[in-house]
Amino acid sequence: MVTDVVRLKTSDKKAGGFLHTHIGCHKYGIVPNALLDYARDSVMLGVFDSGFGGLTVLKPIHHLLPTYSTIYLGDNARTPYGVRSQEEIFQFTLEGVRFLFDQGCPLVVLACNTSSAQALRKIQQEILPIEYPDRRVLGVVRPASESLTKLGSRVGIFATPATVESAAYIHEMYKLNPTIKVTHVTCPRLVELIEAGKHDTDETNDLIKCCCEALLDKDERIEEVLLACTHYPLVESIFRRHLPESVHLLSQGQIVARSLESYLTRHPEIDSRLEKSDGRTYFTTNGDDISGLASMFYGEEIEFLHVNLGSS
């Protein structure tokens, strides 16, 4: 059971800045009851990630759709997902989605490539029609694949082992462009280093250098490179340092934000249900105070509330 609660910063006009609430027991741990009631009533856009990485997607969403209220959930306690089994990834992702649905979110974006590659389809096809027919879950693989196939014919992808194993990007891009050449390289331990705050160390630099050399050894004529893990843009400058200037380096934040904007335009029945009052709510499964590190990555102050998911 959770014993510490981190104060949550939000722009909730009802609460007036910081939420000061009574704390009660809940299936997700010890959570301010008023906050959970507020979230359910607000019908926010949900964003889920295995840790900090989804902040690189959330920030462009906030920039492009500034009035949309959001709930962010980072499963920092069980990160990284990229080295776990497909069943674990599915189960953890489903627990995160269900938590956000429990807060009233009609739409959830999986800002985690591993979750999008290993769990999204099963959630969409087997869970939503039976349990949540009026809810939707979107991923990041499809919009990124569409952008890549429009930009070049020789594409490199840095990703977690689970994302590479799924071959999700290869399948999506080949459907869009059967002649495209796709080269994958895994970046083992990189997510762990970022989550530990070791993003600016020799260890991280050396790891990324090796990954870039491995990619260029496989295809020295690479034109476009995608950082296919939402943690990786947090160290994008190091990737840039070790890739030729001629290589176009992409991260997913802007791509996903534009895709989400387009989706909401095409689905007014979902858009009309979303609150547009600038609400910002952040949850983590990590019992430690990660707000300082998250704020550094996001570029603005963020404070998290701790919740339990399953065995986290």
Residues 6+ apart with CB under 8 A from 249: 225, 227, 236, 239, 240, 243
Residue range 187-236, pLDDT digits in tens: 999 999 998 889 889 999 999 999 999 999 999 999 999 999 999 998 99
Do 265 and 135 lie in one domain? The reply is yes
pTM of the model: 0.85
Query: Do 219 and 149 fall within a single domain?
Result: yes
Whole-number Å distance between alpha carbons of 170 and 180: 9
Q: 105, 112, 187, 212: which is the annotated catalytic residue?
A: 112
Indicate if 123 and 227 belong to the same structural domain: no
Q: Report pLDDT for 29.
A: 52
- 288 and 150 in a single domain? The answer is no
Domain membership of residue 234 as a residue range: 141-251
**Residue stretches of the chain with pLDDT short of 50:** 1-26, 30, 34, 38-40
What CATH number is given to the structural domain containing 164? 3.40.50.1860
Q: Of 113, 152, 112, which Cα lies nearest the Cα of 249?
A: 152
277 with 192, same domain: the answer is no
Rounded CA-CA distance 287/132 in Å is 30
* Per-residue pLDDT, 296: 78
105 belongs to the catalytic site: no
